[in-house]
């Protein structure tokens, strides 16, 4: 499970039912169970997402084996979803995680 930062001002894009709508748009499906949203796509089965606060969200995936030609598409969808939900690109998310690891706040 990853705890990802949400860029300041980006919470409006995922507030209320907007996160669920984003998951349907990107992954094609989404189910709600309490505070958690569940989806499946490609090698990611299941995808679990929960907004913790205006500045953090929890993201958890379990991966399964899939044909090599589907791996790239799966990773693209993951990055599209996370970039839209958090407001940070994959490089920015990695940099923030490295900074947290250096500070010991992970």
The b/e string for 14-48 (b: 16+ C-beta within 10 A; e otherwise) is beeeebbebbeebbeebeeeeeebbbbbbbbeebb
Q: Which CATH architecture has domain 2-100?
A: 2-Layer Sandwich (3.30)
pLDDT of residue 69: 86
In the chain, where the domains are located: 2-100
Q: Is-cis flag, bond preceding 46, omega within 30?
A: yes
Q: What is the pLDDT of residues 41-82, one digit of tens each?
A: 999 999 999 999 999 999 999 999 998 889 999 999 999 999
Instruction: Estimate to the nearest angstrom the gap between the alpha carbon of 55 and the chain centroid.
Output: 13
pLDDT band at 104 (very low <50, low <70, confident <90, very high): confident
Q: Is the pLDDT of residue 105 over 90?
A: no
Q: Is the pLDDT of residue 7 over 80?
A: yes
Average pLDDT, the chain: 94
pLDDT band at 102 (very low <50, low <70, confident <90, very high): very high
pLDDT of residue 60: 96
Instruction: State both tokens at 29.
Output: 């499906």
Please state, in angstroms and as integers, the Cα–Cα distance from residue 37 to each residue in 50, 85, 89, 105, following that order: 6, 13, 22, 26
Q: What is the pLDDT of residues 18-49, one digit of tens each?
A: 999 999 999 999 999 999 999 999 999 999 99
């Amino acid at each position: 499970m990853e705890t990802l930062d949400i860029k300041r001002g980006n919470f409006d894009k995922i507030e209320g039912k907007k996160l669920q709508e984003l998951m349907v748009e990107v992954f094609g499906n989404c189910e709600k169970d309490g505070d958690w949203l569940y989806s499946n796509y490609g090698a990611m089965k299941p995808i679990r997402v929960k907004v913790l606060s205006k500045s953090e969200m929890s993201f958890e995936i379990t991966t399964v084996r899939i044909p090599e030609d589907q791996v790239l598409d799966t990773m693209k969808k993951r990055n599209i979803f996370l970039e839209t939900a958090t407001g940070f690109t994959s490089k920015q998310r990695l940099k923030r995680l490295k900074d947290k690891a250096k500070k010991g706040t992970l």
